[in-house]
Amino acid sequence: MISAESLPDSVARLWMLAQRFQKFLIVGALGFATNQVFLWLLHEQVGLAVRSASPIAILISMVVTFYLNEIWTWHDRGGPKWLRRAQSYVPINLGGLAINWAVLTWLHDSYDVHYLWANVAGAGLAAIWNFGLNNAITWRK
């Protein structure tokens, strides 16, 4: 197993970032599963339009991912100031929500892509936005 201590500083930082990104992807997969399940439930079972169900499902998944990122992905940057981190996490992820929603509704409405597949594309783009900004701002060193 590779130890970050035995690597040059620049390589060690890149290695640690890659490990953190892997954790972020796992948390993201759990958040995405939460998003998909609630999107399906809200649309198919409750009867909400996709345009209305999507933001609600994303908001629910935001709560799940914040908690998991707080206790696992960025556990070393955590601590008692979780409310301050939540105050930066929410606006950043609202940007991700807007990206996800815009892509989902565009693909679904303009190209008749099934809403769950369109959500895959939207969530993928939003994940890039969310990781970059949350790594740099919310859980910065």
**AA letter at 97:** L
CA geometry: angle 111, 60, 34, nearest 5 deg: 65
Q: What is the pLDDT of residues 97-141, one digit of tens each?
A: 999 999 999 999 999 999 999 999 999 999 899 888 988 998 887
pLDDT at 9 over 90: no
What is this structure's pTM? 0.84
Dihedral pair phi/psi, residue 23, rounded to 5°:
-60, -45
CA torsion 36-74-139-15 (nearest 10°) is -100
- Residue 131's Cα: distance from chain center in Å? 7
Q: What is the pLDDT of residues 71-92, one digit of tens each?
A: 998 888 767 788 888 999 999 9
